[in-house]
Chains A and B, each alone.
Chain A
Amino acid sequence: MNEMPDIEQSNQALFARLARIADEIDPVPRLAYELGHAAFELRRLDSELAELIRDSAVDRESLAGVRGELNVRLLSFEAADLDIDLQVVPQAGRRSVLGQVVGTATDVRMETSEGIVAAALDPHGRFQVDDVAAGRMRLHVAADGGVYVTSWVTV
């Protein structure tokens, strides 16, 4: 009967058929390619990445402390000589962001789908931005050590 090779052969034929059907019924939208191409324009030019290292919406352990009635999300970013902690709270369909820069920041700007706004820094490196659009967000931080930009986060 030669069953073994037949099975693998027919598996491959079946799989090829499935892949073809997937191409027909679920093609990648053109927009996905266009947004991918456009992502290039958002690359860092002269800034360092402050990478997302903790996110209470992902990291269960860090949730323990804040889980409860309050719908607070904690985010931490880290760069060589700068740490940024954010507390994000929903606010009537939008977001309120309370932040703290540990390091010597001189300027903080928040970028969202609606543009870039400057945040007022207090002497302890704290800042607050209200009425933030839900969606993708990142911070641009100028500090003594250089200019930093955080990872994008969806808030």
Chain B
Amino acid sequence: MSVTELFRRAEAGDQPAWNAIVDRYTKLLWSVARAHRLGTADAADVVQTTWLRLVEHFGRIEDPERLAGWLATTARRECLQTLRRAGRELVGDVDDVVLQVAEEGPAPVDARLLTEERDVALWACLERLSARCQVLLRALMATPPPDYVTVSTALDMPVGSIGPTRGRCLNQLRTLATGAGLAVGTKARGT
């Protein structure tokens, strides 16, 4: 069912249609919150607030086909407010936000949950990338993968810069990983 149809049904009071929307986009919202380096409790709060905002905007969303962008933008705004409320003075764009809160970011990875130590090591490399890279890569990791327009709205980055920035960030990650003795070669690995 198209998102527009789901949304129209939800507006008309259909809880299963609403649940389907929540199930489809919660991961995107989680990625946006994590991209802003919020801890688990704050990230969950941002996700919940975003759903409450959508509910209160029933009857006011003109183009439900672009719901992902609306949700991502709303989540980003809530992230920034959460960071502000926490008393972190913000100047400028998301880079500064992230740099200032990086030390208080999500709890360290629990290695026991991982199947492969190399994955832990690779993730540690990711966490050494610039704030800009971490934010972008994290946002792009949502499944289903958000399109660049949605990411552009969510992170307030020009659409045209997303592809090239992603490429640069992955290259930096590859350099770090190679330095850490991890094989992430320039050739695609067999699947």
Contact = CB atoms under 8 A, between A and B. Distances in A.
Interface of A: 3, 6-7, 9-15, 17-19, 21-26, 28-29, 31-33, 35-37, 39-40, 42-44, 49, 55, 57-58, 136, 149, 151-152, 154
B52 A7 contact: no
Nearest to A22: B141
B96 interface: no
B51 A36 contact: yes
A55 B113 CA distance: 41
B154 interface: no
A40 B15 contact: yes
B126 interface: yes
Contact of B114 (A25, A32, A57): A25
B114 A24 contact: yes
Contacts of B23: 33
Contact of A154 (B19, B27, B49, B123): B49
A67 B20 CA distance: 44
Interface majority SS (helix, strand, loop, mixed), chain A: helix
Interface of B: 10, 15, 18-19, 22-23, 26-27, 29-31, 34, 40, 43-44, 47-49, 51-58, 60, 80-81, 84-85, 106, 109-110, 113-115, 119, 122-123, 126, 137-138, 140-141, 143, 145, 166-167, 170, 173-174, 184-189, 191
A24 B113 contact: yes
Contacts of A28: 26-27, 30, 47
Nearest to A20: B119
Contacts of A12: 188
B55 to A, nearest CB: 5
B95 to A, nearest CB: 18
A6 B53 contact: no
Given A25-B114, A152-B49, A36 B26 contact: yes
A6 B170 contact: no
Contacts of A152: 49, 52-53, 56
Given A28-B26, A151-B53, 14 more contacts: A6-B186, A9-B187, A10-B184, A10-B188, A14-B184, A21-B123, A24-B113, A25-B113, A29-B44, A32-B29, A33-B23, A35-B44, A43-B56, A58-B80
